C-alpha cells in the first residue's frame, strides 16, 4: 500500500514523494528500478526516491505510515529524525490502536488517522498489482481541522478522492468491523473475498462475526451512526470479489498477520467492557498459528502453514 500510494502521489508533478524502507537492499532496488504498478489496463514504472536512511530525507509536509500494525511503533521511532515542526503524521493502516501509538512519539495535534479503500497485491520488491483506487477518509483524533485540511489538499492535488471526517474513531471501527469479518475467514479457508458470499456456511459465519463486532462497538460506546454492518460487509465482498485479502496474502507468504490488531483487538476491547467476543477470540487463536491450512484452491493444491502472529 505504501508503494501504491507513493506511485499515485508521484504522478502529480507538484508533489515530491519519497519512500522510507527499513531494508537497505530493498530500498536500493526500488531506488534503481522505481515502483512497478500493474493494472488490468497496463504496467507502468514510476520513479520514486527510496532510502533506508531517514537522514537522507528532508522534513516532509505529510508523513504517511503504511506498515503492518505490529510495526507501527518501530516505524514511527525510525521516522522521528525527519519529523519537522510542520510535519503531519497520518496512519492509513489496518486495525485499531495505530494512531494512539503514533501519539506516544508525536504531539497528538500533529497526528491524523484514516482509512483507504484502495487495494494492491505485492508481487515483489517495489512491484505491485493494483486492485483498485478508492477513497481516502481522514481526520484528526483531537479535532485539528486545519491539519486535516492540509493533508487532504495534498491528496486532492494528485486527483485522489479524499473526505475529511470529524469522527475518526467511527471510520476506523467501520473498517475494523469489515476486516474482522472478511480477513480471517479468507486467510483460514484460502478463499477470495467473493467466495464468502457463495459458500453458505462461510456466509453465515461472516454475518455472525459482523454482528459480534458491532455488539462490542456498542458496548465500548462507539457511535457507528447509521452504519448497516452486515450490508456493508457484503457490499465489500461483492466489490472486491476477485481480491485476496491482505491477511490471506500474509498467510501464503509465511508472514506475520495483523490478526491481533483486528479480531484480537476486538476481543481485548470486549474484555475491557465486561462483555465477550468468542468468535473473534477463536479466529485470533486459529490465525495466530494453532492450525495448519488445508491445500489451497488458489495455489493449485500447494499447502501453506500459518505462521504465528505477534502478540499485542
Is the pLDDT assigned to residue 274 strictly greater than 90?
yes
Q: Does pTM top 0.85 for this prediction? A: yes
Set out the domains of the chain in order of their start, with CATH numbers: 2-166 (3.40.50.720), 169-290 (1.10.1040.10)
CB atoms within 10 A of CB 5: 22
Indicate which residue of 175, 218, 231, 308 is catalytic: 175
Residues 6 or more apart whose CB falls under 8 angstroms from that of 43 comprise: 36, 37
pLDDT attached to residue 127: 96
pLDDT confidence bin for 257, thresholds 50/70/90: very high
Q: What is the pLDDT of residues 158-180, one digit of tens each?
A: 999 999 999 999 999 999 999 99
Q: Is 231 a catalytic residue?
A: no
Residues 6 or more apart whose CB falls under 8 angstroms from that of 164 comprise: 137, 138, 139, 145, 148, 149, 152
pLDDT attached to residue 12: 80
Is the pLDDT assigned to residue 311 strictly greater than 70?
no
Is the pLDDT assigned to residue 52 strictly greater than 60?
yes
Q: What is the pLDDT of residues 286-295, one digit of tens each?
A: 998 644 444 4
Instruction: Determine the angle formed by the axes of helices 278-285 and 168-189, rounding to 10 degrees.
Output: 50
Rounded distance between C-alpha atoms, residue 211 and residue 225, angstroms: 15
pLDDT attached to residue 13: 66
> Which has the closest alpha carbon to 210: 235, 240, 182, 242?
182
Mean per-residue pLDDT, 87-115:
97
> Which has the closest alpha carbon to 141: 117, 107, 118?
107
Cα of first residue to Cα of last residue in the chain, in angstroms, is 22
pLDDT attached to residue 289: 61
**Across 10-14, 154-158, 300-304, least confident range:** 300-304
Average pLDDT of the chain is: 90
Per-residue HEC secondary structure of the chain comes to: CHHHHHHHHHCCCCCCCEEECCCHHHHHHHHHHCEEEECCCCEEEECCEEECCHHHCCCCCEEEECCCHHHHHHHHHHHHHHCCCCCEEEECCCCCCHHHHHCCCCCHHHEEEEEECCEEEEEECCEEEEEECCCEEEECCCCCHHHHHHHHHHHHHCCCCEEECCCHHHHHHHHHHHHHHHHHHHHHHCCCCCHHHHCHHHHHHHHHHHHHHHHHHHHCCCCCCCCCHHHHHHHHHHHCCCCCCHHHHHHHHCCCCCHHHCHHHHHHHHHHCCCCCHHHHHHHHHHHHHCECCCCCCCCCCCCECCCCCCC
Q: What is the pLDDT of residues 197-210, one digit of tens each?
A: 999 999 999 999 99
Amino acid at each position: 500500500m505504501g508503494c501504491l500510494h507513493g506511485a499515485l502521489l508521484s504522478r502529480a508533478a507538484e508533489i515530491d514523494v519519497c519512500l522510507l524502507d527499513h531494508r537497505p537492499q530493498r530500498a536500493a532496488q526500488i531506488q534503481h528500478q522505481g515502483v512497478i504498478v500493474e493494472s488490468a489496463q497496463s504496467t507502468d514504472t514510476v520513479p520514486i526516491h527510496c532510502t533506508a536512511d531517514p537522514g537522507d530525507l528532508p522534513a516532509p509536509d505529510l508523513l504517511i505510515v503504511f506498515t503492518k500494525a505490529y510495526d507501527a511503533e518501530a516505524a514511527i521511532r525510525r521516522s522521528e529524525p525527519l519529523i519537522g515542526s510542520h510535519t503531519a503524521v497520518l496512519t492509513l493502516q489496518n486495525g485499531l490502536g495505530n494512531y494512539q501509538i503514533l501519539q506516544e512519539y508525536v504531539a497528538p495535534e500533529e497526528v491524523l488517522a484514516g482509512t483507504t479503500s484502495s487495494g494492491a497485491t505485492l508481487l515483489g520488491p517495489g512491484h505491485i498489482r493494483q486492485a483498485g483506487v478508492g477513497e481516502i477518509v481522514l481526520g484528526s483524533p483531537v479535532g485539528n481541522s486545519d491539519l486535516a485540511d492540509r493533508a487532504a489538499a495534498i491528496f486532492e492535488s494528485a486527483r485522489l478522492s479524499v473526505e475529511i471526517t470529524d469522527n475518526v474513531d467511527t471510520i476506523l471501527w467501520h473498517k475494523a468491523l469489515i476486516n474482522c469479518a472478511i480477513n480471517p475467514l479468507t486467510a483460514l479457508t484460502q478463499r477470495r473475498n467473493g467466495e464468502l458470499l457463495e459458500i453458505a456456511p462461510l456466509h453465515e459465519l461472516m454475518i455472525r462475526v459482523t454482528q459480534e463486532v458491532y455488539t462490542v462497538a456498542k458496548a465500548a460506546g462507539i457511535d457507528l451512526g447509521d452504519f448497516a454492518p452486515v450490508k456493508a460487509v457484503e457490499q465489500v465482498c461483492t466489490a472486491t470479489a476477485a481480491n485476496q485479502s491482505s491477511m490471506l496474502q500474509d498467510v501464503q507468504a509465511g508472514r506475520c498477520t495483523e490478526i491481533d490488531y483486528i479480531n484480537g483487538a476486538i476481543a481485548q476491547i470486549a474484555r475491557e467492557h465486561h462483555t465477550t467476543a468468542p468468535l473473534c477470540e477463536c479466529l485470533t487463536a486459529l490465525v495466530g498459528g494453532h492450525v495448519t491450512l488445508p491445500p489451497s484452491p488458489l495455489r493449485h493444491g500447494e499447502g501453506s502453514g500459518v505462521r504465528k502472529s505477534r502478540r499485542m
